[in-house]
Amino acid sequence: MEVEIVVELRPLGLISRGRACNAADQQFCLQRLEHERCVHVDVEWLKNDKLVSSLTDDKVDTRDDYGLIINEARLSDSANYTCLASNIVAKRRSATAPVIVYVNGGWSLWTEWSACNVPCGRGVQKRSRTCTNPAPLNGGAFCEGMSVQKITCNALCPS
């Protein structure tokens, strides 16, 4: 599973001489008097207010447009993510983007068949399984299918 986090962050900018600068091409344009120069914007991602880094987590990538991608999302990736953009002029923090990793339930192995429920004649044997491998979490789907199977059995009666 891949999770892509997209948080819209208003560009850092100044309004100078009636013209607004923007963050096109991930650069902040700063106008001064008669000339314009562009300054690189540093973008960091925070997970529960702690820095997220692809250097310490090989499942996290930062895209060229500074989006954050979580590859093969794990339950531990559930958190509040925030984008922090800064340059020499200003610093801006995005709204928090909550990420909840849903875990769908999976069946356990079947138990062994029970003994026939009657000592003599036609009876029933059962086996069961549980939705605990893994158990559904954070609104994930419960297992589909039957949790109990039954078959008929014939126990020999003493003569």
Tens of pLDDT, residues 20-38: 333 333 333 333 333 445 5
CA torsion angle for 54, 57, 60, 62 (degrees, to 10)? -10
Residue 50 burial (10 A CB sphere; 0-12, 13-18, 19+): exposed
Task: For 75-117, write each residue's pLDDT tens digit.
Answer: 888 889 888 888 877 888 888 888 888 889 999 999 999 999 9
Alpha-carbon distance 95 to 81, whole Å?
Answer: 9
In this model, does residue 136 exceed pLDDT 70?
A: yes
Assign 57 a pLDDT band (cuts: 50, 70, 90): confident
Contact status, residue 69 vs residue 60, Cβ threshold 8 Å: yes
Closest CA to 125 of 149, 145, 157: 149
Question: What pLDDT does residue 66 have?
Answer: 74
